[in-house]
Structure formats: C-alpha cells, structure tokens
Structure 1
Amino acid sequence: MGASYSTAKCSICIESRYTSEFKKILKCNHESVTCQQCVNKHIESELNNKGNLNIKCLSCNKFMDYNDIQNIARKEVLERYDRMLVNKALGGDPNFRWCKNGKCGSGQIHTGGHDAPIMRCESCGQKSCYTHDVPWHADLTCSQYDKIIENEERATQNFLARETKACPKCGVRITKSGGCNHMTCRISSCKHEFCWL
C-alpha cells in the first residue's frame, strides 16, 4: 500500500482515519493530529454557539487564519464564516444600518446621516430611522420621537419608584403582590429578608 492509504488516530474522536483526512493547518505549521471532521465541527461550533470568528487550532491553540478555515471547513460552514466576517466589517462602519424588516436581512451605508434620517432599504423598500435605528416613526420628526421615548422612560421610572423597592442587599427591584410586609429577595444568591415598609 502507498503512503496515501496509511492511517492515524484523531486526538479528539480517537477514530483511525486515513492520513488524507488530517489537513495541515498552515498558520500553526504542524501536521494536525485532529481529523478534518473534528476540526470542521469545532469551527462550526465556534460560529454557531459563540459567534466567534477568532478560532483556535485544537492541536496547539494558535489562532487559525482565513486560509486555514478555507482549507478545512465544509462549504456551508465557510459560507457562514464569510457572512459573519462581512457583517462584522459592515457593523464597524458608524453609517451602516441593518434593514428593520425581519425578513430582509440586508443593510446599507447611509451617507445622509442625522440631517436626512429617513432610510429606505435598497432591497425591500422598508423605511427606517438612521438616528434611532428603528423602523421609521411615521408622522413624527426625530425630535417628537425623542419626546415620546423620554415620556415612556419617565413613566417606567415612576412606575418602578411607585410599585417596586430595591432589595437592600443586591439592589434587584421587587414587587409586593399582597400579604405581609416581610419580604425575601428571590435572587438565589441573595435571599435577603427585609421589611417592605
């Protein structure tokens, strides 16, 4: 048998696999002891569970570069990685906004800034507010919308002050739903007891 048919054990799944299933990770400059399938699952897990774009090699803990991901990842995983890289790059631009239509998924750079706050998505036509980064507040200027938000925040603060009290130990707001004035904080790490009055 030739060298292409030799096998090795993966350090993660402990399966014997053909050496062709152990791709070299270029940035680390070592032969992988982890099979391509396990590295692929690792990349996918980092993207899906953590949203992590800085993926470390399972063998030596160095960060993998784009060429490594491209060399190892399955097509669908690489496409997701590419989308996440683009989203990260666009999200860093202060003039970029995502479309507020949940079914659209597009975004664009708005050059009008706060002086021209109405944005219209180039993909679906949805209007949104550049200043507040919400769907367009129809029939309201940005100043009027600010006043409504301020009033809502003030009403929320008044409600909290009127209907809740802060736990003296941890500060979590507590409501009283009847009964006596003896209170026990529901936060499991606190359980402080105090008098409502």
Structure 2
Amino acid sequence: MNDGSKARRLQKLLGNSNVQSGPSKRKPKEWNMLRHSDTVASRDLDRFDFYSAKQANVLPRSLLAQQVADDNTPPIKECIICRESDVEFSPAPPTDRCLHQPDTCDACLAQTIKVAVMTRSICDIRCPAIGCGILLEHDDVKYVLGHDHRTFDRYNELLLQKVLQKDEGYVTCLNPACGAGQVHGGQNIFPIVTCYKCRAKTCYRHRTEWHEGYTCQEWDNREERRTKEEILSKEWVNGQTKRCPNRDCNRPVRKIFVD
C-alpha cells in the first residue's frame, strides 16, 4: 500500500478533511535511514512515526485506536452529596416533575429523607438537587425508602398531624420521646388528654403536663399564689439589697449592722 492510499484510509477513519495524501507528505529522508539501520529499536521507529505523522497531520494507528476508545468511554457520574462515583443511581430523578438527570445516589437520597423525618420531624421532603427543590409526593417517598417501614410510618404520621393541626382541638403530646398528636373532642369538659401512642397525659386547658392531684381551678389558684410570692420576693430584694460592686459577681448583697 503506497503513502497516498494510507493517507486516504486514515482520512476516512478520522473524518479529517485536512489530512493530505500524495508525495507532498512523504516521511523525511531520515526515516529511511533509520528504517534500514540494524541498531535502531522498534520503539524508536514508532516514536519517529509519531513525529512524522504529526508533521503530516496524521495519527499513528495505535493513537487512533486509543482516541476512539476514549470517545466511547461514558462520563463518570458523581453523587452530589457523598461525591462518590462507585454508587448506585436510580434511572430517573426523585420525582416525575424534576427536569434534571438523577444526581443523588440511592443511599444518600434515602438518608436525606430519613434525617428529615426521624430527626427534624419534617414531612415536606424536597429534591436535594441544586436548583431543583421540587416537593416529593407520597409515592415518591415510599419508593425511595423501600423497606424502611419505620421511617415511612413516621412520615405518614407527620402528614396526618399536619392535617389535624388545623383543628382547634388539636393537642401535641409533650412527651419528648413521642411527638404524636390528636384532636381532643372533650376540650374543657374533659381536660385530660391521654396520648393514643405513649399514654402520657396533657392538660388541654393549660397545654402542660397534667397537674396530678389538682383540678384546673386549683392549679390556677396555686400558680396565682406562686406568682404573687415571686413578685413580693423581688420587691423585697430590690428594696433591701444592692448589687455587689465586683463585676465578676454582681449578686444582690445586704449590709447588716451589728451592735
């Protein structure tokens, strides 16, 4: 195969109209000298081939194959949260309304929902993709959580509470380990609200833990007396004492005269 045929074949492979054929792009005289030398290794000829091909705007066959392989390599996708690439991605974004490709791995998306629901008691879950923020529907959350039934049950509970909170009779359980809520129909007639989940008791009238041993009226009288006592105590302290001049102390002190 002559030089012109080689150039035309490379032109067809590369799709490059700048590749020229014919004698004008022959290899220089030095190449023939190296070719017939017994002391030159094959890698030197390859290196010289690359040099001469570069001058002729033609790539050697080995570099051409590498370039084709690089062009066919798919781009590496990274999760926007964990920044890992060796992770699993869903074939679609979190919602049907998202206008972007899935860029959060399955594990990070599920963990994001779990933290929002279990730690922050949030049921309005939004897509974490930058610039998106679309609200996930009920079926979207269910699909992402998969077999995490505990988180999904808590998510449903938060959705129910969000609806019930619009009722004036809604009472939130004050047990910090519970966080449930319910609508109390008895209101002031039956002031004790017993949580359906943990059985903790809340006073509907005062919205505090149930004051065991006191009716609501007795509790009001007790709190009124306590408030009056606190006011009298502050008035006495202000009238009989003054602040310690030591800035690091600043506590009220009283001077006592002894005969």
TM-score, L = length of structure 1 = 0.62
SS in 1 for 2:77: strand
Letter in 2 for 1:150: E
Higher RCO (CA < 8 A, seq sep 6+): 1
Deviations 1:110-165 (A, max 9, x none): 2222234344566787665321234544554322221111222333444455558x
Report % sequence identity.
26
Which residues in structure 2 correspond to 1:138-153 (within 5 Å)?
Answer: 138=212, 140-153=214-227
* Counterpart position of 1:90: 164
Richer in helix (by share)? 2
Q: Do residues 38 (structure 1) and 80 (structure 2) align?
A: no
Q: State yes or no: 1:13 paired with 2:85.
A: no
State the Cα deviation string for residues 62-86 of structure 1 (Å, max 9, x = none): 1322233222124233222222222
CA distance in 2 between partners of 1:49 and 1:105 (Å): 11
Task: Give distance in 1, aligned partners of 2:200 and 2:78.
Answer: 54
Structure (1/2) with the larger strand percentage: 1
- What root-mean-square deviation, in Å, do the aligned CA atoms of Structure 1 and Structure 2 show? 4.0
Select 1:130's aligned residue among 183, 201, 204.
204
Mapped contact 1:23–1:31 kept (Cα < 8 A): yes
What is the match of residue 72 of structure 1? 144
**How many residues were matched structurally?**
171
In structure 1, C-alpha distance between the alignment counterparts of 2:107 and 2:144, rounded to whole Å: 9
Partners of 2:87 and 2:105 within 8 A in 1: no
Distance change >3 Å, CA 152–CA 28, structure 1 → 2: farther
Distance in 1 (alpha carbons) for counterparts of 2:128 and 2:142? 16
Q: Equivalent residue of 1:97, what SS?
A: strand
Listed one character per residue, the Cα deviations across residues 140-195 of structure 1 (whole Å, up to 9, x for unaligned) are 4322221111222333444455558xxxxxxxxxx96xxx423259xxxxxxxx89
Aligned AA for 2:132? N
Cα distance in 1 for partners of 2:81, 2:198 equals: 45
Q: Distance in 2 between matches of 1:153 and 1:30?
A: 60
Q: Which has the larger radius of gyration?
A: 2
TM-score normalized by the length of structure 2: 0.50
Three-state SS of the structure 2 residue aligned to 1:62 is coil
Tell me, what secondary structure is at the counterpart of 2:125? coil
Q: Give the 3 Å change call, closer, same or farther, for CA 137–16 of structure 1 in structure 2.
A: closer
1:110 maps to: 184
